[in-house]
Structure 1
Amino acid sequence: MPQRPGMPQRPGMPQRPGMPQTPGMPQRPGMNRPPGTTLPPITSAYKRQFDDEEDEYDSEMDDFIDDEGNEPNEISRHIKEIFGYDRNKYKDESDYALKFMESSWKDMQKEEARSLKLAVLEDQEEEKKEEEELKRRNAKRPRKI
């Protein structure tokens, strides 16, 4: 614990490492770092590493046969085609950058407008499907006169 101004240091307790205390000057909290040391800059060394390898080995799965035939690359390609998602886009982003990602009000409004348009189009398509289904049901039913 740093020495309080006007309080004598307790016997048997050495002064904490860091900057030497100047007589008459109270020690500032959080300033116990030795002079000349600085924090390292955020570099590519802090970036996440992408690992494709399986970390766990399950001996029970040795005799498992997968007859499906779809390879993971094929599945990823289909996902990319459907959603337009590129998993390599954020591979090189640092954890620091991802943590402090921000969007502006304008960006949020653009996204809201885009999702509203998509929702309206989906609703219209759903209404058309329901009308067609209703017409088919009415066409199958014999008319009573």
Structure 2
Amino acid sequence: MLYKFLETELPPIHEFTTTLKGKISQEDYHHAQKVWKTYDCKNLGEYHDLYLKIDILSLADVWIQFRKTCIKYYELDSSHYVSAPSLSWDAMLKKTGVKIELFTDMSMHDFIEKAKRGGILKACKRYFKANNPKMGNAFNPSKPTSKVTC
């Protein structure tokens, strides 16, 4: 499949599909053509590399701004946390000044252990679409009912 990177023209619109939404719109295809022309792409490999650069640099920019915000408001570096909830927990402790004491009563310890929920959660797919009555106006009764699950 690497030979496709050597193609010197943007493929026709019917060859563009996305695993999230299916066929792309005419507007999206025109945008792809404009990018190809503006950046003078010689082949699909260059177009692919341009896409990756934009994607990665945009994500890096968002992360850097988020990190700066966390440092400014909470004096916490988001890069030192494995999850947003762990960062949020430390931010809450820092901003409220709450001191959590060690449990000396075993029944309190057991109560907390039984009430704990969580762990690291990840979305295993790029796109999830649910359809159930709890979604309010977004619920479509003519489609099968579904919930987002991993």
TM-score of the aligned structures, taking structure 2 as reference length: 0.24
Larger radius of gyration: 1
TM-score of the aligned structures, taking structure 1 as reference length: 0.25
| Structure with higher RCO (Cα < 8 A, 6+ apart) | 1
Q: If each structure's helix is expressed as a fraction of its own residues, which one has the higher value?
A: 2
